[in-house]
Chain A
């Protein structure tokens, strides 16, 4: 770690290290500006590619969000500036506060908590298994991970299908309900199914990442703690969790970003594409409000807001992490 952190300043330092080659003293003096620019020259192509592929589209989205940009503007190429009117419309729409934000944020909190909890549990289980069973369990959860979101969503739709789904037929066979229930028309059961789907699809990544971290926790420390009389819960929260802080941070940030912008798993559900207005989340809302209606400026405004929210969450996470690190 220390090595990695220290190396770059040396490499980009102004005075060229002797190891870098054999230019004579006077020559080195003359070439000084070029040498200073060398890291940038090396980075140049990559930065140019990033700028074209990432930065320019980002700038374009921001520019679109300040326009009333529709099919007509696309064809004519004429800009149509309207200032912040798109943002005004987003913030004054009651749907945002009563449906879209609660669904998005509430769902993300539950999904991240569920994914990380289940993933950690599976990782701890796998860490205590022998190589054979670890491989078997690992392969099994990889299947859930490898399944495309669309396929996975349809499997859950079938499971909860009102007329032929296994859930309804089981509940009816057990006498717990008389008539078939359509689980997709109620906001809570709708998101309950999405939650199952997303956690099922997301926990393998968490499990594998945390398992990798777990295997790196020094055995001696755990053994010493056990000798000192610490039970399994104490060992987990006082040794494993602190030493895996970085891993948890990465996993939580990534899960938050993924679960915030969940789209296919909601859009493909029965009623999820806009007919069940109580089930809209930020991603689906922006899609039906903007793309279906060719209002790309409005959609861009929502996209910019979503990016800013995710950026803010990430910054807060990273800052608290760095602070804790300093305190340690």
Chain B
């Protein structure tokens, strides 16, 4: 975590070259998949039009390689268990979408095939979004091909802000000031939602105050959640609820989905939400269209606080009969036309740096702030196969919920969380 801001701008320079190189190379070799079928698992719900999208991909894939494409949609909630059971039974698909925090875990288990050679063979290495490459790399080898990325920023009700004469917050003090005005003028609204069962909206405050989630020290991981900086950040974030009363009693046990539901219902004025949520909000409540906007998450005294860069890889499983064919599909999906289309349909940012450059040029008020956040303040959770276990144990969520419900003080809760993180990440 030494280098948090992603050097995407630098990568953009090589982008055009790399893209034209791979687009032009309809190389003679490729893969001859005549009569073969490629089994693919894709997560459901990311792209509202995924059925149509994959019909097109399927046609293009068959045209290019002669092989059939068999796409199965899997719910995010069941996916981890299904991967594990299929790994156990040797029935994994040839290619699957893997969440960025899972790739290292499955690679560690020996279930994935390395794809570094293919990426180098296509000269794509320099044109991938750095944060996704980082999370897709395990023990110096690339296992996850960057596909798409998303990031959380501050989403607020532009109509409420305008009505009350407020500007988008640019520092922590601005957030409190805006919250007080909203709370006084609209007591029925949740001025700032602080969900107690969500970890990703916590880390920007830790980083924004100069703290760290965890750092690698030699072979050992050390959690930084109990550092004074992290405590200040978490104290500010939970204080929005406990001191200032901006949140609600119910939010103490909310997940991020419930923040989204409440925002869509028009009850929330400010919340940290993902770059993929605006379309979902409008879909749930068309009345809100044009009434909300996004802004990068402010650091303590201004600037941009880093936010977790989430997303997905496409990974090739080592049970694939024909890895050349599998790679053809991965390349088709993650570069060029289909990667761009997927990004624009789903509200995610493409994992190919040159495509991301195009998106960043957008001036859409619900795209540009997220793009700024992604490029200037995109960060990764600790890249270790053990981090999935920390998430499964809900270490950070537990700390936040305990503070919000008054079970523990900020100092106590963060100390407990740091100790638990240390023991999980350094266990075997």
**Do A and B bind?**
yes
User: Which residues of A approach B to under 8 Å, CB–CB?
Assistant: 70-72, 74-76, 161-164, 179-182, 184-186, 270-271, 273-278, 288-289, 291-294
Q: Which residue of A lies closest to B89 (CB)?
A: A74
- The A contact surface, by secondary structure, is loop
Contact partners of B398 in chain A: CB under 8 A? 274-277
Contact partners of B88 in chain A: CB under 8 A? 74-75
Contact partners of A179 in chain B: CB under 8 A? 249
A271 to B407, CA, bound (A): 13
Tell yes or no: B35 within 8 A of A by CB.
no
Whether the Cβ atoms of A162 and B249 lie closer than 8 Å is yes
Contact partners of A74 in chain B: CB under 8 A? 84, 87-88, 109
Pairs A-B, 4 closest by C-beta atoms:
A292-B392, A270-B253, A162-B250, A185-B405
- Specify which of A72, A181, A277, A293 is in contact with B249 (CB 8 Å cutoff): A181
A179 to B391, CA, bound (A): 32
Contact partners of A75 in chain B: CB under 8 A? 87-88, 109-111
Whether the Cβ atoms of B250 and A180 lie closer than 8 Å is yes
Whether the Cβ atoms of A292 and B84 lie closer than 8 Å is no
Tell yes or no: B16 within 8 A of A by CB.
no
Q: Which residue of A lies closest to B248 (CB)?
A: A163
Whether the Cβ atoms of B401 and A185 lie closer than 8 Å is yes
A294 to B87, CA, bound (A): 12
Q: Which residue of A lies closest to B424 (CB)?
A: A293
Contact partners of B354 in chain A: CB under 8 A? none
Contact partners of B109 in chain A: CB under 8 A? 70-72, 74-75, 294
28 A–B contacts from the bound complex (CB under 8 Å): A71-B84, A71-B105, A72-B110, A74-B109, A75-B87, A75-B110, A76-B110, A162-B248, A162-B249, A162-B253, A163-B248, A163-B250, A164-B250, A179-B249, A180-B249, A180-B250, A182-B250, A184-B252, A185-B252, A270-B254, A271-B401, A274-B397, A275-B401, A276-B401, A288-B392, A288-B393, A292-B391, A293-B388
Contact partners of A293 in chain B: CB under 8 A? 388-389, 392-393, 424
Q: Given A270-B197, A271-B197, A276-B401, does the pair A71, B108 have CB atoms closer than 8 Å?
A: yes
User: Which residues of B approach A to under 8 Å, CB–CB?
Assistant: 81, 84, 87-88, 105-106, 108-111, 196-197, 248-254, 388-389, 391-394, 397-398, 401-402, 404-405, 407, 424
Contact partners of B196 in chain A: CB under 8 A? 271, 275
Whether the Cβ atoms of A182 and B424 lie closer than 8 Å is no
A275 to B392, CA, bound (A): 10
Contact partners of B87 in chain A: CB under 8 A? 71, 74-75
- Report A291 CB to chain B, min CB distance, Å: 7
Contact partners of B110 in chain A: CB under 8 A? 72, 75-76
Q: Given A271-B253, A275-B197, does the pair A182, B405 have CB atoms closer than 8 Å?
A: yes
Whether the Cβ atoms of B394 and A275 lie closer than 8 Å is yes
Contact partners of B106 in chain A: CB under 8 A? 71
Contact partners of A70 in chain B: CB under 8 A? 109
Q: Which residue of A lies closest to B81 (CB)?
A: A291
A163 to B193, CA, bound (A): 13
Contact partners of B252 in chain A: CB under 8 A? 162, 182, 184-185
- Specify which of A163, A185, A186, A292 is in contact with B393 (CB 8 Å cutoff): A292
Contact partners of A71 in chain B: CB under 8 A? 84, 87, 105-106, 108-109, 111
- Report A141 CB to chain B, min CB distance, Å: 31
Whether the Cβ atoms of B253 and A185 lie closer than 8 Å is yes
Contact partners of B108 in chain A: CB under 8 A? 71-72
> Could you list 6 further interchain pairs (A-B, Cβ under 8 angstroms) beyond the known A162-B250, A294-B388?
A71-B105, A161-B250, A181-B249, A270-B254, A293-B389, A294-B109
- Report A327 CB to chain B, min CB distance, Å: 50
A179 to B398, CA, bound (A): 24
- Specify which of A161, A181, A278, A294 is in contact with B389 (CB 8 Å cutoff): A294
Whether the Cβ atoms of B394 and A273 lie closer than 8 Å is yes
A278 to B253, CA, bound (A): 14
Q: Which residue of A lies closest to B394 (CB)?
A: A274
Contact partners of B388 in chain A: CB under 8 A? 293-294
Contact partners of A72 in chain B: CB under 8 A? 108-110
Contact partners of B197 in chain A: CB under 8 A? 270-271, 273, 275
Contact partners of A278 in chain B: CB under 8 A? 407
Q: Given A270-B197, A271-B253, does the pair A180, B248 have CB atoms closer than 8 Å?
A: yes
| Most chain B CB neighbours (cut-off 10 Å) among A71, A76, A179, A181 | A71
| Most chain B CB neighbours (cut-off 10 Å) among A180, A271, A291 | A271
- Report A290 CB to chain B, min CB distance, Å: 10
A278 to B405, CA, bound (A): 12
- Report B10 CB to chain A, min CB distance, Å: 36
| Most chain B CB neighbours (cut-off 10 Å) among A72, A185, A288 | A185
Whether the Cβ atoms of A288 and B394 lie closer than 8 Å is yes
Contact partners of A270 in chain B: CB under 8 A? 197, 253-254
A65 to B394, CA, bound (A): 24
- Report B190 CB to chain A, min CB distance, Å: 9
Q: Which residue of A lies closest to B111 (CB)?
A: A75
Contact partners of B392 in chain A: CB under 8 A? 274, 288, 291-293
- Report B317 CB to chain A, min CB distance, Å: 11
- Report A71 CB to chain B, min CB distance, Å: 4
Q: Given A71-B105, A288-B392, does the pair A294, B84 have CB atoms closer than 8 Å?
A: yes
| Most chain B CB neighbours (cut-off 10 Å) among A72, A270, A289, A291 | A270
A274 to B251, CA, bound (A): 16
A292 to B397, CA, bound (A): 15
- Report B420 CB to chain A, min CB distance, Å: 10
Contact partners of A186 in chain B: CB under 8 A? 405
A107 to B202, CA, bound (A): 34
Q: Which residue of B lies closest to A71 (CB)?
A: B109
A70 to B109, CA, bound (A): 8
- Report B15 CB to chain A, min CB distance, Å: 36
Contact partners of B84 in chain A: CB under 8 A? 71, 74, 294
Q: Which residue of B lies closest to A74 (CB)?
A: B88
Q: Which residue of A lies closest to B389 (CB)?
A: A293
Contact partners of A76 in chain B: CB under 8 A? 110
Q: Which residue of B lies closest to A289 (CB)?
A: B393
Q: Which residue of A lies closest to B90 (CB)?
A: A75
A185 to B254, CA, bound (A): 11
- Report B246 CB to chain A, min CB distance, Å: 14
A163 to B252, CA, bound (A): 11
A181 to B252, CA, bound (A): 10
Q: Which residue of A lies closest to B252 (CB)?
A: A182
- Report B265 CB to chain A, min CB distance, Å: 10
- Report A110 CB to chain B, min CB distance, Å: 23
Contact partners of B424 in chain A: CB under 8 A? 293
- Report B393 CB to chain A, min CB distance, Å: 6
Whether the Cβ atoms of A182 and B389 lie closer than 8 Å is no
A181 to B81, CA, bound (A): 35
